[in-house]
Amino acid sequence: MKRSPLSIALLAAICIAVLAAGPFLLPPFYVRVGQLMLYSAGLGLAWSILGGFAGYASFGHAAFIGVGAFTAGLVENSAAGLGPLWLLPLGLIAGGGACAVLSAVVAYPILRLRGTFFAIAMLGVSHVCAELTNNVDFFQGSLGLNFPPIAPASADPADFFYWLYLAAGLVVLFIAWWIRHSRFGAGLLSIREDEDTARMLGVPTERYKRLAFVTSAVLTGLLGVIYAHSLGYITTDSVYRDDTNLSLIVYSLLGGMGTLFGPVIGAFLLVFVTQVILARLLDFHLFATGLLLVLLVLAAPGGVVGVVRSLRRRRDKLAGAE
């Protein structure tokens, strides 16, 4: 039974209202956990535009987090005379633009690869960007970059960044929803299922792949700018992280690869497990993430969304049989 558009809109409004009320209801620790959940959900959705919809799973999206963050930091520090109201938009424009340029440059050669070759090549891009940032003095990756405060004086910084992550996550969700329900999204799904057949049927596969790659990179870079501001100080190691590359894949696998809300569900679950349940076992996080990935592939290859759909189909069959 399909829900009406009105009931879906009402449910979405309730969910957004509950999330927005988080800082008023939660202790400070859980507000910070909420920040990480919203940030991770936005990253998972941005990754899914390329990895979930088009089937080009990237192992190197941390490259765009780092490029966006460092570009924004350098630009904002050079324009420190501007007020806090202008610094974040300036950083977002600079960071998003840098990610657009980088992704457009590497898209042509790297999107000729498929499967494991593409995934490993993207991991290489991330490591090259990290080494350049760390070893070229201009980028200040080894020394680190300070970010000017942007939170209003009357607001608690933790609450401010919580709402900023929520707003950014909703923007990414809307873009992902629009793509998923557009002709462009249908083309990406056909590429995921069988790229050669899609090309023979007239789908502009190369153009669609490049557009998905750039869109995913820019959205990831914008979230990286906000993340850098929330930290206040970044180094190469704080933004170019291999555990982030792994987590982005796990979000989609845990929630449901190629689905709209799968990365959101996966991000919320994984962050809750690692930050709350395993909070005192910091060295155990990567092991737990890897173990969870193996168990998911074996037990629930369709993720949480796949399990829910399977249960719903079984319920409908039972209801029909009666």
Q: Give the model's pLDDT for residue 83.
A: 74
Q: Give the model's pLDDT for residue 322.
A: 58
Q: Give the model's pLDDT for residue 282.
A: 64
Flag whether pLDDT at 42 surpasses 70: yes
Lowest mean pLDDT among 29-33, 94-98, 117-121, 150-154: 150-154
pTM of the model: 0.91
Query: Does residue 305 belong to any structural domain of this protein?
Result: no
**Tokens representing residue 140 in the block:** 């200040």
HSE at residue 165, side-chain half, CA atoms within 13 A, is: 28
Q: 180 near 53, Cβ under 8 Å?
A: yes
Q: Give the model's pLDDT for residue 137.
A: 87
Flag whether pLDDT at 62 surpasses 90: yes
Calculate ∠ Cα 273-213-266, nearest 5°.
Answer: 15
Neighbouring CB atoms inside 10 A of 248's CB total 28
Identify the band that residue 59 occupies on the pLDDT scale cut at 50, 70 and 90.
very high
Of 277 and 92, which is predicted with more confidence?
92
Flag whether pLDDT at 292 surpasses 90: no
Q: 210 near 111, Cβ under 8 Å?
A: yes
Q: Give the model's pLDDT for residue 79.
A: 82
Give residue-wise pLDDT tens across range 78-121. Answer: 887 777 778 899 999 999 999 999 999 999 899 999 888 999 99
Q: Give the model's pLDDT for residue 5.
A: 66
Taking CA atoms, 153 is separated from 85, 137, 157, 183, 225, in Å, by 12, 33, 9, 45, 20
Reduced to 3 states (helix: H, G, I; strand: E, B; else coil), residue 300 is coil
Q: What is the mean pLDDT of residues 14-24?
A: 91
HSE at residue 314, side-chain half, CA atoms within 13 A, is: 6
User: What are the beta bridge partners of residue 234?
Assistant: 145
Q: Where are the alpha helices (DSSP H) in the chain?
A: 5-20, 22-25, 28-51, 62-78, 84-110, 115-135, 157-180, 183-200, 205-231, 236-239, 242-255, 262-272, 285-299, 303-321
Query: Does residue 297 belong to any structural domain of this protein?
Result: no
Identify the band that residue 256 occupies on the pLDDT scale cut at 50, 70 and 90.
confident
Flag whether pLDDT at 2 surpasses 60: no
DSSP state of 2: P
Query: Does residue 218 belong to any structural domain of this protein?
Result: yes
Taking CA atoms, 276 is separated from 15, 33, 255, 271, 286, in Å, by 22, 8, 19, 8, 15
Query: Does residue 6 belong to any structural domain of this protein?
Result: no
Query: Does residue 144 belong to any structural domain of this protein?
Result: yes
Q: What is the mean pLDDT of residues 257-283?
A: 83
Identify the band that residue 299 occupies on the pLDDT scale cut at 50, 70 and 90.
confident
Neighbouring CB atoms inside 10 A of 31's CB total 18
Q: Give the model's pLDDT for residue 177.
A: 93
User: What are the beta bridge partners of residue 233?
Assistant: 146
Identify the band that residue 189 occupies on the pLDDT scale cut at 50, 70 and 90.
very high
- Phi/psi for 154 (5° steps) reads -85, -5
Query: Does residue 174 belong to any structural domain of this protein?
Result: yes
Flag whether pLDDT at 310 surpasses 90: no
Mean pLDDT over the full length of the chain:
88
Q: Give the model's pLDDT for residue 207.
A: 95
Q: What is the mean pLDDT of residues 3-17?
A: 79
Residues in the chain: 322
Crossing angle of helices 303-321 and 242-255, in 10° steps, is 0
What's the domain range around 40?
28-240
Query: Does residue 113 belong to any structural domain of this protein?
Result: yes
The count of domains in the chain is 1
Residue 142 and residue 133: Cα distance in Å, rounded? Answer: 8
Q: Give the model's pLDDT for residue 186.
A: 94
Q: Which residues of 57-72 are buried (b: 16+ CB within 10 A; e: fewer)?
A: bbbbbbbbbbbbbbbb
Query: Does residue 2 belong to any structural domain of this protein?
Result: no
